[in-house]
Chain A
Amino acid sequence: MDQSSCYPVLTVLTFFPLLAALLLWPLKSDLRVRQVTLIASVLELLLALPLIGFKAQAGFQFMEKRPWAQDWGLSYALGVDGISILMIWLSILTLPFCVLCSWTYIGRRVKEFHVCLLIMTTACVGVFSALDLVLFYLFWEALLIPMYLMIAIWGGDQRRYASIKFFLYTLAGSTLLLVAIVALRVTGGTFFIPELMTKGFSFNFQYWIFLALFIAFAIKVPMFPFHTWLPAAHVQAPSAGSVILAAVLLKMGTYGFLRFSLPLCPLASVHFAPMMVAISLASILYGGAVALGQNDIKKLIAYSSVAHMGFVTLGIFLFSPEGVKGAIFQMLNHGIITGALFMMIGAVYERSHSREIVKNLGLGKYLPHFMFFWGLFGLASFGFPGTNGFVGEFLVILAAFKESTSLGLLTIPGALLAAAYILKVTLKMAWGQPASPAGQSWPDLKKKEWLYLSLPALLVIYLGLAPTGLLNLIGPSVEDSLTQFQAKKDSVNVIYLSSPAGKPQGLIYERDLPPNVSAPAPEPELSAPALGAEPMATQGQEVK
């Protein structure tokens, strides 16, 4: 792509934090370590400035491609499109906040902590910009190690249990991802993702690939039956760990669905869409209901993540531009809002040394500034109009209603539950009657806390009031990928038995497409009229 930047932006963004981590090695004083990391994180943001030149068009930009291990077809390929650009900004933005919110929270083994933070940023940017399957997998797995250490070393009382559970769960999920990568390489002939996207695979092949990818991504998101590692990890992790976990790590799962499952397995995606929609709904409702019953603030927000990510997966598997755009927007929102909420929980924990709701009552009186921000992020979290949370959730719910009224109606209790648990905890924290007036001695927000809370707050309001800019930025990529998705889906004779509601009831397909055939020419007239059935009318077909 013809971008006017004088250096390979994505490579620099990916490996600059790693370099900074090496620079930390000789430093002796903790303060100096924090300062250097903060400077590095700001520099990283400055280095990302050329990304502002990202054009609102389909296709990958800022592409870099070099041979890596040619004999095996590995390439070092990076690039961004509308699906990943926001995630890259999010990963980079998260770093300075993590440094700031750990300034006083992390008191021991400071250097190791910041090295972990920086390595994680490298891995996050790498995951979202990698265009080679093996490169993607490399960053995807490499992220586990610093995250594990972060929970295991600086975590709460049950850190050992939580960290091992986190590691085992996510690693077990990604074992089959590796099998899928190998199968795609052998069948598709390349590890290079844009090239793989142009190939058509047989339904049978897609079926198994989709399932292998599903397990890896669903655990990462996490979707309903696979979510149990999340509350444990969130509650035990230090603030910064929770922030990265919520803001970036979970997004990798939904990003994986968008980047791999939909383009590579369109037929299987359609086949499994009812299941995915059902699981998403279950995540929304289950996450919300369980969050309502929590006494631990951090656990409550952790479960609310399950619900919010349910909205994201729901939006993705409706295959409509509104749904997917809403999903991507919701990914960004959830990162900002939940990240900020976790930072606030860290801040209040430093004062009360407890995450129990009952130990943090009456803060409206003692910490009014704190409660202002909490209220703002809380409102955004349940999608109050005027905040960014509203935009994403609204788009997804709109897509759901377009798909079918009953599906739309099913999402409403989820939105209500979100309001209920957030208002419940906010109410108690603001006006609850504390057993002892310990809160009187707590200082209200310090300068650093103002800094790391006001910036997300600005984003919450700005994106809530003027989301069009970003939506336009991601729009072309989303629409292009959905058009291709639709074309591929129709080109290989897939026919749905028509039903009154126009919803997929059953599937007749040609199973035995030879695996190496690349995207066969469309032959709709052969299939649809001959069998007296009509192709399913999904929202995606309305894309121009």
Chain B
Amino acid sequence: MAGLNLNPGLLGPELVFLILVVILFGAALIKKPKLIGAILALCPLAALISAWWSWASLPGLVASPSLQFFGAYRVDGLSQFFKILICLGYLVAWFNSLKLPSLKADQKPDYYLFLTLSAFGLILLSSAAELVAVYLAMELSSYSLYVLIPKRSHSKAAAEAGLKYILFGAAATALALYGLSLVIASQQVTFISKLSGLDWSLASNPLAVVGLSLFLGGLFFKLALFPFHFWCPDVYQGAGNETAAFVATLPKLGAIVVLIRLAAPLSPGLELTDILAFLAAASITYGNLCALAQKDLKRMLGFSSVAHAGYILVGLVSGSPEGLAASAFYAMAYVLMNLLCFWVICRLSTDGRNLTYQDLNGLSARSPLLALALLAAAFSLVGLPPTVGFIGKLWLITSAWGHGYDWLVIVVCLNTAIAIFYYLSLVRHAYTEEDLPAQGAQSLSLDGSLISSLGALVLGLLVVLLGVLPGPIWSAVLQASQSLFQ
């Protein structure tokens, strides 16, 4: 394997975030509000620089990926694509949590410290090309979340959510670690690129298959895939709105990028691929059915993300560059539409409480822009054109069709008919219910600031425009995933 091969020019995003983390750690120690305010303003700047850096290095890396740290760290088109997404997602999450109504002022530096640390872990994860490195990066991002989730003032539900996440997370991690040891024992290799071409059939190499399945279980936990989803609705509901927006979006990206790397050696017909297909179908159906019965918006979105985790897996079963690219594209779509949905929720909940459908009543009159943004997000989550959710889903199912998983495509499409009901409820309450909610109608004044409108406008336009003009991004993702097969 190529030696240390350190090239700082390609590690820009990592370095920027590392420095940011150190600065924020210092900010958490001092008690000068003005200085802290100035330091916090560095976060969006750092995110923009990192995103730009990843973007600038993308074209060169697509052609020739760079392996660093003895081959454990792979900077390629895929990793840069996900780093851009993570940086931009972090940016939105930062703007989203500017007000943080549910947190005391003196805890804010801590909050941003762990937010940034988690994003840093995810950035490392998107380049990790070796199982131990994957494990370390994954834990770095998760440990920060363990601290982040209970950070909601005077909320027992948040404490409970945090505890649940830690306990479930620890169990999943232990399983993944055990699986990792089995993989090492049976295949004697931990580099993901070396894993392809090895024997992955259950009949001749059971230890490796079981090991990889367990390792995948750890990733599925992060992704909240059925049956590893139990934490998801509770954590979304318990955590603060802004925290939930972060937990629901960025950590999923980290899990997906590793899954995409791991799925490259899987071809249709293997037991592992069948398991993926089955879990996808189960997750989609289960998530959608459970979401039907929810009243709390964040809980509904929790189950919706269980379903979407399943959608993303659909791209992995075909074992083709198109399929992997479709998964990566849908990951972007997922993050965009969820950020948009949570953006609207956070703007509505100015006192930081959880919202129900009733709280959306009359939104179209109170804020036409937020209502329109919610409409775009809802129909994108369903997968209706002309939104990015539709194009993403179209590519997922087109890549999966004809590889022996046609039934999965039909399950995906039929689920649209289930999902429409609860997403349509969002639109129905925002547009057609005109009487305001009875309890606490006064206290609920939405955030009408410029940032609120701007964020909704930008995210909403992205959701629609990327649905209409997906071409350039798709080409980039496709080339990036083709390089995984070389």
Contact of B385 among A72, A138, A160, A167 (CB under 8 A): A138
Chain B, 380-436, CB within 8 A of any chain A CB? 384-386, 390-391, 394-395, 397-398, 401-402, 406, 409-410, 413-414, 416-417, 420-421, 424, 427-428, 431-432
Stretch at the interface among A169-177, A239-247, A406-414: A169-177
Tell me how many residues of A have a C-beta within 8 Å of chain B.
37
For B394, what are the chain A residues with a Cβ–Cβ distance below 8 Å? 134, 178, 182
Residues of chain B contacted by A182 (CB below 8 angstroms): 394, 397-398, 401, 409
Any chain A CB within 8 A of the CB of B470?
Answer: yes
Chain B residues lying within 8 Å of A172, measured Cβ to Cβ, are 417
- B471 touching A69, Cβ below 8 Å: yes
Does B420 contact A186, Cβ atoms closer than 8 Å?
no
- Known interface pairs A69-B471, A69-B474, A185-B398; A137-B417 also in contact (CB < 8 Å): no
Chain A residue contacts of B471, Cβ below 8 A: 67-71, 74
Mostly helix, strand, loop or mixed at chain A's interface?
helix
Give B471's nearest chain A residue, CB to CB: A69
Contact A138 B390 (CB under 8 A): yes
Is B474 within 8 A of A168, CB to CB?
no
CB of A153 closer than 8 Å to a CB of B: yes
| A160-B428 contact given A68-B471, A71-B471, A141-B385, CB 8 Å threshold | yes
In the bound assembly, the distance between CA atoms of A72 and B364 in angstroms comes to: 37
Judge whether A152 and B385 touch: CB under 8 Å. no
- In the assembled complex, how far is the CB of residue B420 from the closest CB belonging to chain A, in whole angstroms? 5
Residue in contact with B413 in the complex, picked from A70, A145, A179, CB distance below 8 Å? A179
Q: Assuming the A-B contacts A142-B384, A164-B424, are A183 and B401 also in contact, with contact meaning beta carbons closer than 8 angstroms in the complex?
A: yes
* Contacting pair B379 A186 (CB below 8 A): no
Rounded to whole Å, the gap between the CB of B401 and the closest CB of chain A is 5
A159 touches B413 (CB 8 A): no
For the complex formed, measure the closest distance between the CB of B77 and the CB atoms of chain A, giving whole angstroms: 14
Give the residue of A138, A149, A171 whose beta carbon is less than 8 angstroms from that of B416: A171
Residues of B within 8 A of A168 (CB): 417, 420-421
Nearest CB to that of B393 among chain A residues?
A: A178
Interchain CB contact under 8 A, B386 and A138: yes
Tell me if B478 counts as interface (CB < 8 A to partner A). yes
Whether, in the assembled complex, B7 has its beta carbon less than 8 Å from a beta carbon of chain A, the answer is no
Nearest-CB distance from B223 to chain A (Å)? 24
Output the nearest chain A residue to B386 by Cβ-Cβ distance: A138
Chain A nearest CB: distance from B365 CB in Å? 8
A152–B428 touching, CB < 8 Å: yes
Which residues of the partner chain A approach B475 to less than 8 Å between Cβ atoms?
A: 70-71
A329, chain B: closest CB distance, angstroms: 31
Cβ contacts under 8 Å, A112 to chain B: 364
Q: Are A171 and B420 touching (Cβ within 8 A)?
A: yes
Residue pair B431, A152 in contact (C-beta under 8 Å):
yes
Minimal beta-carbon separation of A114 from chain B (angstroms): 14
- A179 to B395 Cα, complex, angstroms: 12
Find A167's partner among B386, B390, B397, B420 (CB 8 Å cutoff).
B420
Interface centre among A137, A148, A179, A187 (most CB of B within 10 A): A179
Query: Chain A contacts of B474 at CB under 8 A?
Result: 69, 71-72
Residue among B375, B379, B384, B470 facing the most chain A CB atoms (10 A cut-off): B384
CA distance A187 to B414 in the complex (A): 21
Q: At the interface, yes or no: A36 with Cβ under 8 Å from chain B? A: no
List residues of A (69-84) whose CB comes within 8 Å of B's CBs: 69-72, 74
Known contacts A72-B398, A186-B398; A137 and B385 CB within 8 A of each other: yes
Q: How far is the CA of A457 from the CA of B284 in the complex (A)?
A: 52
| Chain A 409-466 interface residues, beta-carbon cutoff 8 Å to B | none
Chain B residues with CB below 8 A from A179, complex form: 397, 409-410, 413
At the interface, yes or no: A48 with Cβ under 8 Å from chain B? Answer: no
B385 pairs with A186, CB closer than 8 A: no
Chain A nearest Cβ from B467, distance in angstroms: 9
CA A215 – CA B45 in complex, angstroms?
52
Cβ of A144 under 8 Å from chain B:
yes
Contact B385 A175 (CB under 8 A): no
A-contacting residues, B314-365, CB 8 Å = 364
- Please indicate the chain B residues that have their CB under 8 angstroms from the CB of A149 in the complex: 427, 431-432
Which chain A residue shows the least CB distance to B470? A69
- Quote the shortest CB–CB distance from B413 to chain A (angstroms): 4
Cβ–Cβ < 8 Å partners of B431 in chain A: 149, 152-153
- Cross-interface CB contact of A176 among B385, B398, B413, B420, cutoff 8 Å: B413
Closest partner residue, chain B, to A208 (CB atom): B406
Contact in complex: B432, A153 (CB < 8 Å): yes
A 63-101 binary contact with B (CB < 8 Å = 1; else 0)? 000011111101000000000000000000000000000
Name which residue of chain A comes closest to B409, CB basis. Answer: A179
Contact with B along A285-328 (1 / 0, CB 8 A): 00000000000000000000000000000000000000000000
| Nearest-neighbor residue (CB-CB) of B479 within chain A | A71
Whether the pair A171, B432 counts as a contact (CB closer than 8 A) is no
Q: Do A145 and B384 have beta carbons less than 8 Å apart?
A: yes
Among residues of A, the one whose C-beta sits closest to the C-beta of B467 is: A138
Give the residues from 443 to 472 in chain B that come closer than 8 angstroms, CB to CB, to chain A: 470-471
With a cutoff of 8 Å between Cβ atoms, the chain B residues found around residue A68 in the complex are 471
CB distance from B141 to the nearest CB of A (A): 32
- Chain B residues near A138 (CB-CB < 8 A): 385-386, 390
The 8 Å CB contact of A175, one of B386, B406, B414, is: B414
Cβ of A186: which chain B residues have Cβ within 8 Å of it? 398, 401-402
> Can you list 7 contacts pairing A with B, beta carbon distance less than 8 Å?
A69-B470, A138-B386, A148-B424, A148-B427, A149-B431, A179-B409, A185-B401
5 closest cross-chain pairs (CB), A and B? A138-B385, A172-B417, A69-B471, A175-B413, A152-B432
For the complex with contacts A69-B474, A152-B432, 20 further pairs of A-B residues with Cβ separation under 8 Å are A68-B471, A69-B471, A70-B475, A72-B395, A138-B386, A141-B385, A145-B375, A145-B384, A149-B431, A152-B431, A167-B420, A167-B424, A171-B420, A175-B416, A175-B417, A179-B413, A182-B409, A183-B401, A186-B401, A186-B402
